Amino acid sequence: MRIFFLFLIILPHLLKSQRSGLEVGITEGTTMYVGDLSGKLSEYSTKDLGFTGGIFLRNNFNEHFGFRFATQLAQIKGDELKRKVPNARGLNFYNNLKQIYLLGEWRILNIPLAKEKIIISPFIAAGGTFQLSEPYYNDLTYGNIPLRKLGTEGQGITGYPDFYKATVFSLPVGAGISVSIKRRLTITAEIIGNRVFGDYIDDVSSAPVVMNDLLANPRGSSLALNAYISNPILYPSPSATPYSRGGPAVDWYYLVQLTIGYRIKDSGSSRFGGKGGTPCPTF
């Protein structure tokens, strides 16, 4: 909700300050998580696909360059039991990432069709994303369990790191194809990969954990949920042997999505806000 209000605060300033073509629109699509709980690509299950949706503002400086500012919800998830080759440990998570991002867009080529009423533009994009992250564990008995303050890797226990923060930053890079119709409507298909800086959007890292420490500092409703979720195979057997729940994998998530934008302001007669007609295909 705070991200949405921030979007509303920034939007009027962007509308006032820009002179070229402005679009507002919606985004919908699916997500794919790649990290400690996703396993190998050959083991990936379509059941771990999430969803995404949001609203955006796009400003086109000219026929090639522009930027997009958006607020978006992206649900990512992973379940070791849903892999094509299930992991008996059975860890799972889901995370409804609330995010805002700014993307610079470069339309590499503009191809006019139907007497310039339709323009097809392949593009690449890159920028920055700020997220609010709250991973959850789904249990048949206890329902959806918030993980950030549970301490599945000893967070909050003496000798272990403190609880990780809810704020996360990532670098998005992507590519796609946009289709402009009569200078007003723009439909875009794209894939955007987000490289996450931080290892806890899935609550799993490579940090060493000792089961005895979790059992001695139980957290949860009616049992030591921090120990149970940390390692369901080992729980509740005492052990002083350190183990790691994850590995050195860097967390990524991908947005595969469609956007529909409507032009609300136009500073010129060309497709992207310049003067004159739409240019021929250019590099």
pLDDT of residue 144: 95
Where does 198-283 show beta strands of DSSP type E? 208-209, 243-244, 252-265
Question: What average pLDDT does the segment 217-226 reach?
Answer: 88
Is the pLDDT at 277 greater than 50? The verdict is: no
User: Nearest 5°: CA angle at 27, between 10 and 199?
Assistant: 80
Is the pLDDT at 4 greater than 70? The verdict is: no
pLDDT of residue 10: 54
pTM for the predicted model, two decimal places:
0.85
Is the pLDDT at 139 greater than 60? The verdict is: yes
Using CA atoms, how far residue 186 sits from 68, 182, 255, in Å, is: 13, 9, 19
Domain 2-202+247-265 has CATH 3.30.479.30: no
What are the pLDDT digits (tens) for 261-270?
999 876 554 4
User: Nearest 5°: CA angle at 260, between 59 and 193?
Assistant: 80
Is the pLDDT at 275 greater than 50? The verdict is: no
**138 close to 203: Cβ distance less than 8 angstroms:** no
What are the pLDDT digits (tens) for 85-133?
899 999 999 999 999 999 999 999 999 999 889 999 999 999 999 999 9
Beta bridge partners of residue 256, listed in sequence order: 30, 191
pLDDT of residue 250: 87
Question: Residue 148 and residue 143: Cα distance in Å, rounded?
Answer: 16
Half-sphere exposure of 105 (CA within 13 A, CB side): 27
Containing 228, the helix (H) or strand (E) segment is: helix 225-230
Is the pLDDT at 281 greater than 90? The verdict is: no
Which pLDDT band, with edges at 50, 70 and 90, does 3 fall under?
low
What are the pLDDT digits (tens) for 141-190?
889 999 999 999 999 999 999 999 999 999 999 999 999 999 899 999 99
Boundaries of every domain in the chain: 2-202+247-265
Question: What average pLDDT does the segment 33-53 reach?
Answer: 91
**120 close to 82: Cβ distance less than 8 angstroms:** no
Is the pLDDT at 280 greater than 70? The verdict is: no
Token reading at 128 = 């920055």
Question: What average pLDDT does the segment 51-70 reach?
Answer: 95
The one-letter code for the residue type at 154 is G
Token reading at 267 = 């500073």
